[in-house]
Every structure is written in structure tokens, then in C-alpha cells.
């Protein structure tokens, strides 16, 4: 389901791991197709499982909730962003660390086409958009102490650090909306950079 390369010293995926990844991707693609064709609310877990050729129990082993089929696990998402920021070089500033986190989040999509389908569904489905906003708030709060530590030397206080995190997320949301308006043309991170540059100027 996610893109990425094996890190240095990482274990080689087993046949079981690869089989599970393929099964999860098949379920995800089936779900995205049905959501796009008939709507998120109108599509049932039973229908997705049936068309993917798995039981509902199996589907829930891969994806804990129906929303996870679109937005991914909240725990996984939050962990990815916080760990990415933590791993940035000590001389990377807050803006660079946050950009790296957004890049990591985008890598969860197997293809740009899959990302386009997911973002469209989130932006046009009230329940998915509400879930995304809740996830975003939690991410910002989890990232805040990490960014405060990076900004400590400059005398930045907690309120200012919170404003930086909120601004970065707002620019990412604006970039995503612009990317959707353009039907997936261009690169979301380039659009993010342009938006952030406009705000910071």
C-alpha cells in the first residue's frame, strides 16, 4: 500500500509480507473504485469485501475501519509524521522538518492516481473531511513539542511554534486543493513551497 525503499539494514520482506501487501492493495483498489463509482456513504464494507474476494473479517484485519481505506490508520499517520520530524538533521529548521513530514505522508500513496482519488473523496465527503480535520489537529499537537525543541535556540515561544505548525498545515491543505482543481497536474510539494513562500514573504 505504501511506497518506500528498504532502509539500510532493514529486513528483506518475506513471501508472507509481500502476499499481505498485495492483498491489502487489492482491497484498497477495489474500495477506491467503488467509492468513486457510487459514493463513499453508499458503498458498504460487505460489498468491498465481496468484490475483493475476501471476508469482512479479513478486510478489517488489513483496515481497522472503513475510513482507514481512505485516510489510513490515524496511529500510523501520526507516527509517520512525528518520526520523520524527529529524524531530520539537527540543523534542519522547523519549516524543513515539516516539509519532510509532508513528503513522507505523500509517499503513502502507491501512485499519483491513487492519491488523486483519495484526496477527491476526502474533500467531497463530509464524514471523511471531518475525520481528516480531527487527524490533522492531533498531528499538529503531537508535532508541537518536537518543533518547539528545534526552535528553542531562537527564543520562539509555544504560541509562535503552534502558529508555525498551523501555517504549514494550512499551506499543505491549500496546495492539495489547488492540485485537485488542476486534476492532479503538477506536484503537491511544489505547490506547497509556492504557497508557503507567499505567506512568509
pLDDT tens profile 55-98:
999 999 888 889 988 877 788 889 999 999 999 998 999 999 99
Yes or no: domain 67-200 corresponds to CATH 1.10.357.10: yes
Task: State if pTM tops 0.85.
Answer: no
Q: Which three cell numbers stand for residue 77?
A: 499517520
Nearest by Cα to 128 from 43, 1, 18: 43
Superfamily of domain 12-66: Homeodomain-like (1.10.10.60)
Q: What are phi and psi of 92, to 5 degrees?
A: -75, 135
Quickly state the pLDDT bin for 17 (edges 50, 70, 90): low
Identify the H or E element spanning 63: none
CA pair distance 139, 170, nearest whole angstrom = 13
Q: Which three cell numbers stand for residue 158?
A: 509555544
Length of the chain as a residue count? 201
Provide CATH 1.10.357.10 ranges for the chain: 67-200
- Is the per-residue pLDDT at 21 higher than 90? no
The predicted-structure confidence for 101-151, as pLDDT tens digits, reads as follows: 999 999 988 788 889 999 999 999 999 999 899 999 999 999 999 999 999
Q: What angle do CA 100, 2, 165 make, to 5 degrees?
A: 30
- Is the per-residue pLDDT at 6 higher than 50? no
Calculate the average pLDDT of the chain: 89
- Is the per-residue pLDDT at 43 higher than 90? yes
DSSP letter (8 states) at residue 180: H
Amino acid at each position: 500500500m505504501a511506497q518506500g525503499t528498504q532502509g539500510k539494514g532493514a529486513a528483506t520482506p518475506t513471501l508472507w509480507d509481500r502476499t499481505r501487501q498485495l492483498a491489502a492493495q487489492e482491497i484498497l483498489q477495489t474500495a477506491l473504485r467503488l467509492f468513486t463509482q457510487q459514493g463513499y456513504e453508499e458503498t458498504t464494507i460487505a460489498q468491498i469485501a465481496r468484490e475483493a474476494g475476501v471476508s469482512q473479517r479479513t478486510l478489517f484485519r488489513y483496515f481497522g475501519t472503513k475510513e482507514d481505506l481512505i485516510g489510513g490508520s490515524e496511529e500510523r499517520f501520526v507516527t509517520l509524521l512525528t518520526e520523520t520530524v524527529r529524524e531530520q538533521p539537527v540543523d534542519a529548521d522547523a519549516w524543513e522538518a515539516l516539509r519532510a513530514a509532508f513528503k513522507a505522508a505523500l509517499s503513502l500513496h502507491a501512485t499519483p492516481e491513487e492519491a488523486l482519488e483519495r484526496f477527491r473523496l476526502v474533500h467531497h465527503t463530509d464524514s471523511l473531511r471531518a475525520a481528516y480535520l480531527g487527524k490533522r489537529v492531533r498531528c499538529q499537537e503531537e508535532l508541537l513539542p518536537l518543533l518547539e525543541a528545534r526552535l528553542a535556540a531562537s527564543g520562539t515561544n509555544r504560541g509562535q511554534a503552534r502558529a508555525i505548525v498551523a501555517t504549514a498545515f494550512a499551506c499543505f491543505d491549500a496546495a492539495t486543493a489547488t492540485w485537485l482543481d488542476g486534476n492532479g497536474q503538477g506536484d503537491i510539494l511544489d505547490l506547497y513551497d509556492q504557497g508557503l513562500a507567499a505567506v512568509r514573504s
